[in-house]
Structure 1
Amino acid sequence: MSPPYNSTMRVGMGYNSFTQETCARDVVKPALATSKPNNITLAAQSTKPLDQVHSSAQFVSRFGDLLEAFGVTPAAYIKNDGSRAAEYAQFLNVDHFNGHHIHYLIRVLAAREVPCSPELIEFDVISAAAAEPAKVYGDSFITGFLEGGELVALISVKLRRPSEENIAVGKCRLEGQVGLVFRVATAATAAGEVDGETTTIVWRKCGLGMDAPNQWTPQSVREEVMSFPKNAFANPVRLGPVLSKYTTLKSFLTSKIKVPEYEKSGAYIRAASLLEDYLEYKGVWGSIHIAALQVEAGHFSLTPQPQSPELLQLSSEAKAESEAVFSDYEDVRSSKSSSSVIATNEGRPYAATVLGLTKARRDCEREMLKIIDSLAANPEANAEDPSRQHLNPTVFRMLVPRITDIAKQQLELDTTQQLEKSLRAEAELQQKYAKLELTKNDVARELQDVKKKIEPYRGWCPIELDKPFRLVNVATTRSMDYDFTNSNGPSYQLHTWDQEKDNSNQKFEVVLGDAKGYYIRHVVSGRYLTPTWTSDVGVHMDFYDNFPFPFTFNRIDADNRARQVY
């Protein structure tokens, strides 16, 4: 990835690819017999330069990945805090990046390489540069430029309900909405809208001025991406330098000049680690600033961190190592600045006051400056151990007072209390419900008992209810007779008598009784058949007005209903 272009770049100029800074001009020149330095121009090739289009679309989850996509090195970002990448400044906003859950980066680079003419082959040895080769020469030189156009779009989504599952679904939906043909989908496209707030930033670098829509959408971004290369090649601008290493020059190899070798020293790897610490410190710095304002306004409260002997020991060791490292290039620092080695935090927690936060913020700035100064003074020395020059940000966080959002804490407390109240109310309702269920079952049983007591018996009966019938003695064929109507006066005797068709004293009926059985009633008198007393020969019966007795009927032979006892 070519570093970003700036207007100070010239062919033959030294360049520091680690910090992405331009160095001295004309450090590499054409052959002396061929051309003078001021006659160096971009080559007018006989054949048309090869046009190349590089398109990519990817989800980025780390800020370092975003820097890499733009060709900005960690060291360049730390040293200049993004100022050197002014073209990309709107994309390299850490707060914006951390405030969103999904980032979809689309980049289209339509470029052709235009080398210089005549060819640069002579390395110019500058005697005064021996002390600071990195500043004068850098580690490479500019041999040409990339021309064409560049389009960058960053679609960021802040989900309403962030979770791993929702992030995965949001990525699939966003990818499907953009629908770029050169992008191989990582998962099946999910239908529907992304559930969150979407922010789209689009930057175009091209010689042709193009109007932007009032609001970028995934569809308009796709249309712009597909049509951009043609416009870029038709109206090219410089995009970045073409760099070459000094080791490609014979004249350099014969010289005694030594330029930095950042790849071999591991400086790039260490700078990436420093970037993580720098960004974390930057986040701490911002949060402390906001917290101090909120504490003064009475919205936040502070709680001191506990004192830790381990932190004191760790801080003491870090301070000694920091002083040892800075002493290695003390002369270099003193030649540029009169400042002394910045003191390391002594491992003591800051006071839980606004003044304590102010001191913590100042020390946070110092730790950030340590990272910047170490890169500026001696990047390769820094590569030995990037953590020796500054306090680990995780340790620093352990010294800053715990910050509590009072309103949020009260809301959480109210929510917890409300939840506990709801749980208690629910438990009480469950208990009441259980009691009601028990009561309901008891009432149901009581109702069944009452029902059995008050509802008339409706068991099997051999004859139709409320219909007159005779009770006949099978052995004598005589009918039961209750002497109630008699010309000589009723005797009220229950006895058997010859069957007489119209004799009303011989007519009885079965009627509904109580829950225990039916009543047998004498039709004329309205009296009820009731047992009176028992003897060895059986049970004696009689009829009474107020003492009905319940009867039930059973079959003698269930298979032959003609034979019955009733």
Structure 2
Amino acid sequence: MALLLAPYNDAMRLGMGFNSFTQQLCVNDAVRLAGGKQEISTDKSLRPQYNPGLMTAPDGSTVDISQNVTWTAKFVDKMSEVTNSLNVSGSLQVKLETGEAGVNVSASFLDSNKFKESDINYFIQVRVTNQKLIAEDLTDFTPIPNVPFSEFNRVYGDSFISGFIEGGEFNAIISIKLNDSSQATKIKGDLEGSIGFSGIQVSASASLDKEDSKSNIDGETTISVSWRGGGDIKDATVTDWTLDTLKRVAMEFPEHVMACPMRTYAILTKYTSLKSFYEQSIKGSPLDYENAGVYSSALLDAYMDYKVMWRDIQQAAWDVDKGQSALTAKNALPEFAELQAESKAYYDKQMVEYNQKQQALQAASTSTDPNATQPPAPIVPAQQALPEGPIPPNNIVPYKGNQFGLDAARRDCRFEMIKIVREVDAVATDPRIACDPSRTWQYLSPAVFRMLLPTVTDVKKQKEAEAAAAAAKALEAAKDKDSQNVSNDLATTKKKLDESQTQLNQLKGDNAKLQKEVADAAAYKSQVSPYNGWCPVKLNTPIRIRSVFSKKCFQYDYSDNKGTHAVQQWDISDDPNQKASIRTWAFSIRHIASGKFLTTNNTTNDTVELVFGAFPTFFAFQDLGKGELMVHIAEMPQYTLNIYFALMTNGAALKGWNGAAKGENDKWYFKDFADHNI
């Protein structure tokens, strides 16, 4: 059987009665030491129970202490997960939330509002047990005379305090409310694996230091911490709680507890485990809350959901009143009518049972003993004690989208919270109802109630969203317009291209026609000049024309600037495969810089004047050997290119010479322009 524990508080005494469901203290000295009805238990009756072992104290000495240390670090979604880890019953936490608990419990450090608002809740717990102190001789149940059967559970509870656990406990909750809830999974992934407790790896990865939290987490982070035992667990370097400092303090916590332990939990023992309880001649018995714990946790989670909704309704009413929010009523679903019929039928059944019990109580209170001076007080078993009248169920109709609807929702939300508190009291009175499968409509499910609330819309954000939608629509329209313009431009361009293609085809036709005309003209000209078809065959390499006799280079004499000129580049057409003495191929000689051709002008019996013009005269070459050649006018081969009068000065004129004697003046070198060798 698992050890039954309750959070320790200073009012606890050995032998004191205790209600394990509500975790409320009951009568003192319900159980005393064996062997004497008047002898009560004190701390001297405690006996330590632990496994001996040696640990090193801060001063270096060894002490006979063996600690049991448990580290827990996990993501939690429900507040009941935390309260269960703290051994705080759900019913006590509900009472704590309503302000009816009257005690300070270990879960009071939790900010329930922050917990429910947050997207991520991370729970860290370090539980250290130095030793268990057990009062083994605490065995005699001592009932109080004349306690009615119906008052047994209120007076004695269902268990008693039989010992204490000494050690320490460190608890921390990190609550993160993100501005973008969709990032919760990513943040959890980033947090995975950062805190590793010696030998085990637990959930959380990325330090929540100030710098990291600002850069990695876009939201609000709240850290709540409590501890018992260990004395001053923070050194001077810990000035702010972060995930890094929490890890460091948690790792060092067991050593602090070894030096400064405290009582952390009370050990509870059921009355039914005592032999003396069955030996007493009493009426009544403790209630069995074994199966009520799960139900109380569900009640706690439902109560917290309603508490958050009640605050949200208040906030929505304020925002609507200030004009910051707008309301929209939800649509009624077909399932609402079914739930309404079920809740109404269950309420009618409860009212019938309530009226029957009330009539039975009135009948019992009116029956009197004729020999008695005063009528006896009615005795109703605890399991059959008359509860309060049931509260009418919610109509399960969506609330109006205005302030009147919010006011009704706020009122109904409060009634649902009251129903949950009354259900806690009902389970405390009769724990069997926690296992009653027909008890389904004590309060409306928070999930269903949330579906009835009007939708709250932030006016500012709605306007921003509408403006963004309008801008997106305008952008889309602009894109469509641009697309249409581009399409129009493409069509226009295609049309122009088609027109250009038509013009090009026409020009091609004209060009073909012109080429034909040129070809016809060339054919006609070939009949007039037999050399026309031989030229020009252009060589791309410029040549130098040098006189063999004068060693002077042939150059162009400008009509407006007579005198010495630089050596000019010339371009002739040549066929290197032609080897005849006077080649049958004819060539034109063109000046590259001016683009003009060497052509004939005036003709006499002995000479032909040579000038530069737009139309070429064709020349044939006679190979004389040794790199020398003679240049003949193709159509008048008796004329050769000659330096007139064999002048040796600059500016000598060129003539076509018809003399019989061909001398040095008629010989030339034709070389590459870059070749300066004679």
Please indicate, yes or no, whether the TM-score normalized by the shorter chain is above 0.5: yes
- Point out where structure 2 has 5 or more consecutive residues left out of the alignment: 53-63, 362-379, 516-521, 534-581, 591-611, 617-678
Matches within 5 A, 1:193-204: 194-197=216-219, 198-204=221-227
Q: Contact 1:470–1:507 (CA<8 Å) still a contact in 2? A: no
Q: Cα–Cα, structure 1 residues 414 and 115, in superposed 2: closer, same or farther, change >3 Å?
A: same
Q: Contact 2:399–2:453 (CA<8 Å) still a contact in 1? A: yes
Q: Deviations over 1:403-436 (max 9, x none)?
A: 3333333333223222222222233333333444
1:153 aligned residue: 172
1:130 aligned residue: 149
| CA distance in 2 between partners of 1:154 and 1:74 (Å) | 18
Deviation at 1:36, TM superposition (A): 0.6
TM-score normalised by structure 2 residue count: 0.61
Aligned counterpart for 2:433 among listed residues 364, 382, 406 = 382
| CA distance in 2 between partners of 1:145 and 1:227 (Å) | 24
Residues 1:80 and 2:80 are matched in the alignment? no
Matches within 5 A, 1:268-287: 268-287=293-312
Matches within 5 A, 1:153-192: 153-163=172-182, 166-185=183-202
- SS of 2:5 mapped into structure 1: coil
Deviation at 1:116, TM superposition (A): 4.2
The residue type paired with residue 110 of structure 1 is V
Q: Cα–Cα, structure 1 residues 239 and 325, in superposed 2: closer, same or farther, change >3 Å?
A: farther
Deviation at 1:329, TM superposition (A): 7.2
1:484 aligned residue: none
Q: Contact 2:230–2:258 (CA<8 Å) still a contact in 1? A: no
Moved more, 436-445 or 66-75: 436-445
Q: Cα–Cα, structure 1 residues 270 and 258, in superposed 2: closer, same or farther, change >3 Å?
A: same
Q: Cα–Cα, structure 1 residues 119 and 90, in superposed 2: closer, same or farther, change >3 Å?
A: closer
Deviation at 1:370, TM superposition (A): 1.4
The residue type paired with residue 231 of structure 1 is H
Q: Cα–Cα, structure 1 residues 9 and 433, in superposed 2: closer, same or farther, change >3 Å?
A: farther
The residue type paired with residue 200 of structure 1 is I
The residue type paired with residue 366 of structure 1 is F
- Point out where structure 1 has 5 or more consecutive residues left out of the alignment: 462-467, 482-500, 510-522, 528-566
- SS of 1:430 mapped into structure 2: helix
2:128 aligned residue: 110
Residues 1:7 and 2:10 are matched in the alignment? yes
Q: Deviations over 1:443-491 (max 9, x none)?
A: 5666667678889989xx9xxxxxx999656xx994569xxxxxxxxxx
| CA distance in 1 between partners of 2:407 and 2:154 (Å) | 36
| CA distance in 1 between partners of 2:457 and 2:296 (Å) | 34
Aligned counterpart for 1:224 among listed residues 231, 249, 256 = 249
Q: Contact 1:262–1:380 (CA<8 Å) still a contact in 2? A: yes
- SS of 1:71 mapped into structure 2: coil
| CA distance in 1 between partners of 2:511 and 2:195 (Å) | 81
Q: Contact 1:322–1:390 (CA<8 Å) still a contact in 2? A: no
Residues 1:119 and 2:140 are matched in the alignment? no
- SS of 1:262 mapped into structure 2: coil
1:539 aligned residue: none
Q: Contact 1:299–1:406 (CA<8 Å) still a contact in 2? A: yes
Aligned counterpart for 1:323 among listed residues 351, 355, 360 = 351
1:233 aligned residue: 258
| CA distance in 2 between partners of 1:240 and 1:328 (Å) | 44
| CA distance in 2 between partners of 1:508 and 1:154 (Å) | 103
The residue type paired with residue 243 of structure 1 is L
The residue type paired with residue 228 of structure 2 is K
Matches within 5 A, 1:550-565: none
Residues 1:142 and 2:164 are matched in the alignment? no
1:429 aligned residue: 482
Deviation at 1:96, TM superposition (A): 0.8
1:61 aligned residue: 77
| CA distance in 2 between partners of 1:24 and 1:356 (Å) | 48
| CA distance in 2 between partners of 1:151 and 1:336 (Å) | 41
| CA distance in 1 between partners of 2:38 and 2:25 (Å) | 23
1:51 aligned residue: 67
1:205 aligned residue: 228
Q: Cα–Cα, structure 1 residues 345 and 201, in superposed 2: closer, same or farther, change >3 Å?
A: closer
- What is the total number of aligned residue pairs between the two structures? 478
Q: Contact 2:109–2:225 (CA<8 Å) still a contact in 1? A: no
| CA distance in 2 between partners of 1:424 and 1:271 (Å) | 59
| CA distance in 2 between partners of 1:45 and 1:320 (Å) | 56
Q: Cα–Cα, structure 1 residues 4 and 417, in superposed 2: closer, same or farther, change >3 Å?
A: farther
Deviation at 1:28, TM superposition (A): 1.4
Q: Contact 2:287–2:430 (CA<8 Å) still a contact in 1? A: no
2:463 aligned residue: 410
Matches within 5 A, 1:482-521: none
1:23 aligned residue: 26
2:407 aligned residue: 358
Q: Contact 1:170–1:195 (CA<8 Å) still a contact in 2? A: yes
Deviation at 1:3, TM superposition (A): 2.8
| CA distance in 1 between partners of 2:613 and 2:154 (Å) | 137
| CA distance in 2 between partners of 1:430 and 1:253 (Å) | 94
Q: Cα–Cα, structure 1 residues 42 and 446, in superposed 2: closer, same or farther, change >3 Å?
A: farther
Deviation at 1:78, TM superposition (A): 1.9
Q: Cα–Cα, structure 1 residues 112 and 443, in superposed 2: closer, same or farther, change >3 Å?
A: farther
| CA distance in 1 between partners of 2:173 and 2:511 (Å) | 86
- SS of 2:197 mapped into structure 1: coil
| CA distance in 2 between partners of 1:32 and 1:390 (Å) | 50
- SS of 2:168 mapped into structure 1: strand
Q: Cα–Cα, structure 1 residues 453 and 150, in superposed 2: closer, same or farther, change >3 Å?
A: farther
The residue type paired with residue 444 of structure 2 is L
Deviation at 1:203, TM superposition (A): 2.0
Q: Deviations over 1:227-275 (max 9, x none)?
A: 1111112111111111122232111244564211122xx3223223323
1:99 aligned residue: 117
Aligned counterpart for 2:444 among listed residues 391, 409, 413 = 391
| CA distance in 1 between partners of 2:444 and 2:278 (Å) | 41
| CA distance in 2 between partners of 1:258 and 1:80 (Å) | 28
Deviation at 1:4, TM superposition (A): 1.9
Moved more, 78-87 or 286-295: 78-87
CA RMSD of aligned residues (A): 4.3
| CA distance in 1 between partners of 2:179 and 2:42 (Å) | 60
Moved more, 22-31 or 86-95: 86-95
| CA distance in 1 between partners of 2:27 and 2:65 (Å) | 29
The residue type paired with residue 184 of structure 2 is I
Moved more, 371-380 or 431-440: 431-440
Deviation at 1:128, TM superposition (A): 0.7
- SS of 2:21 mapped into structure 1: coil
The residue type paired with residue 313 of structure 1 is A
The residue type paired with residue 288 of structure 1 is I
| CA distance in 2 between partners of 1:129 and 1:225 (Å) | 49
Matches within 5 A, 1:227-306: 227-255=252-280, 257-263=284-290, 266-305=291-330
The residue type paired with residue 11 of structure 2 is T
Q: Deviations over 1:334-364 (max 9, x none)?
A: x999975433334455454434422332222
Q: Deviations over 1:185-239 (max 9, x none)?
A: 5699899864333332222222523447332222222211111111112111111
Q: Cα–Cα, structure 1 residues 190 and 87, in superposed 2: closer, same or farther, change >3 Å?
A: closer
Q: Cα–Cα, structure 1 residues 38 and 312, in superposed 2: closer, same or farther, change >3 Å?
A: closer
| CA distance in 2 between partners of 1:348 and 1:21 (Å) | 39
